[in-house]
Amino acid sequence: MDFLDNINEVSLTETLPDVASKVKDHTSTILDWVGMSDIEMPVFVEGPHRRDLQVNAKIQAFVNLVDADAKGIHMSRLYLGLDEIFADRRLNGKSINKVLHSFTESHGKLSDSAHVSFSFDYLVKRKALVTDYSGWKSYAVTVSATLVDDMVNLALSVKIPYSSTCPCSAALARQLIQQQFKKDFGDQQTPNFDSVVAWLGSEKGIVATPHSQRSFAQIRINLGNWQQELPILTLIDRVESVIKTAVQTAVKREDEQEFALINGQNLMFCEDAARRIKTALDKVPEYLDFWLRINHLESLHPHDAVAIAVKGIKEGYEAAPEKQDI
């Protein structure tokens, strides 16, 4: 046997090195979570009108490490489990339940808990307010689930943009318009109707306008051991139906005018928006718990106006003032 043949024979008989299985040289202790983040993978979710919608998800996958003497977990098994299960399955309660159990089963006695989250942009085509135009609107969504004591707990989070017009600013603007009206028509006992109408349609008549801003509602709901399709669009529609002033996509002047009317009829501070949404969420028994943060990106100030609320159940979500992403 020559030298090259000897090398080939050795390479066939020897296994690849496995550092994790070698003699332990670390401090024995358990770890809460070990895994991978920012895994990129396409997944299918239920889309508008029950069509499958493919999204590009960023995934986090973790298991705990309860074997204090183990060097580490088998990270490749997390990735391969995701790839196998979501290659031909939709993202829903059942498939998430299945992948969590696959994480712990693939690790044997190393792990008994698992966590997974999927973050993606959820595109919905929305009709204009008046015209027949429509356009796509994106909502940031995160679906997360944890397996502990053989029970799965699933949470759904969405970030919903809308418009808000300040009630205080609106009152101040109305006062200025009144003052201008008195200045322009104060010497007339009975102002001419047509002159008043023309004045109201002029820049001089609308001498001041209230400030509005793009705003965001961040919502997280606890769905418990959810086994069905993810109620993403249902949650978005519920919030937008009570907030009234959802931002628009394709618009013509008729739509923009209608948007101005809706904003004028729904003046709101961040507290008002938070109360509207909290009241709506409280009415849904499937939402075992919820957390919401309202962010009004002030056009008057360089800072935001914020309101936070939770359902308020024992050992539920905390209304921490620290800024959180969904």
Q: What is the pLDDT of residues 186-218, one digit of tens each?
A: 888 889 999 999 999 998 888 999 999 999 999
Give dist(CA 205, CA 161) in Å, integer: 32
- The token duo for 173 is 């603007």
| Same-domain status, 139 and 219 | yes
> Exposed, middle or buried: residue 41 (CB in 10 Å: 0-12, 13-18, 19+)?
middle
pLDDT grade for 239, boundaries at 50, 70 and 90:
very high
Give dist(CA 258, CA 246) in Å, integer: 12
In-domain check, residue 285: yes
| Same-domain status, 235 and 261 | yes
In-domain check, residue 323: no
In-domain check, residue 14: no
Give the pLDDT of residue 8. 55
pLDDT grade for 236, boundaries at 50, 70 and 90:
very high
Give the pLDDT of residue 20. 62
| Same-domain status, 161 and 298 | yes
Q: Which long-range contacts (CB under 8 A, 24 or more apart) does 236-242 make?
A: 236/122, 236/124, 236/139, 236/158, 236/160, 238/280, 238/281, 238/284, 239/158, 239/160, 239/277, 239/280, 240/160, 240/162, 241/280, 242/276, 242/277, 242/279, 242/280
pLDDT grade for 169, boundaries at 50, 70 and 90:
very high
In-domain check, residue 84: yes
| Same-domain status, 41 and 115 | yes
How confident is the model over 246-256, as a mean pLDDT?
96
pLDDT grade for 320, boundaries at 50, 70 and 90:
confident
Q: Is residue 12 pLDDT above 60, yes or no? A: no
| Same-domain status, 36 and 107 | yes
| Same-domain status, 140 and 269 | yes
Q: What does DSSP assign to residue 110?
A: G
Give dist(CA 23, CA 70) in Å, integer: 10
What CATH number is attached to the domain comprising 77? 3.10.270.10
| Same-domain status, 76 and 224 | yes
Edge to edge, the sheet with strand 151-165 lists 31-46, 52-65, 114-127, 134-148, 151-165, 212-224, 289-296, 305-310
The one-letter code for the residue type at 102 is S
| Same-domain status, 176 and 300 | no
What DSSP line would sit under 36-102, residue for residue? EEEEEEEEEEE-GGG-EEEEEEEEEEEEEE--TT-----HHHHHHHHHHHTSS-BSBHHHHHHHHHH
164: β partners: 213
- For the chain, the domain total comes to 2
| Same-domain status, 178 and 47 | no
Q: What separation, in Å, do the N-terminal and C-terminal C-alpha atoms of the chain show?
A: 64
| Same-domain status, 38 and 141 | yes
Domain of 177 in residue numbering reads as 171-200
| Same-domain status, 154 and 301 | yes
In-domain check, residue 12: no
| Same-domain status, 240 and 178 | no
Integer angstrom CA distances of residue 170 from 174, 211, 272, 303:
6, 7, 15, 20
Mean pLDDT of the chain: 91
In-domain check, residue 8: no
- The token duo for 174 is 């109305």
Give the pLDDT of residue 14. 62
Q: Is residue 7 pLDDT above 60, yes or no? A: no
In-domain check, residue 13: no
In-domain check, residue 47: yes
How confident is the model over 165-173, as a mean pLDDT?
96
Q: Is residue 25 pLDDT above 70, yes or no? A: no
| 112 close to 104: Cβ distance less than 8 angstroms | yes
Q: What percentage of the chain reaches a pLDDT higher than 90?
A: 81
Write the pLDDT tens digit of every residue in 103-159.
Answer: 999 999 999 999 999 999 999 999 999 999 999 999 999 999 999 999 999 999 999
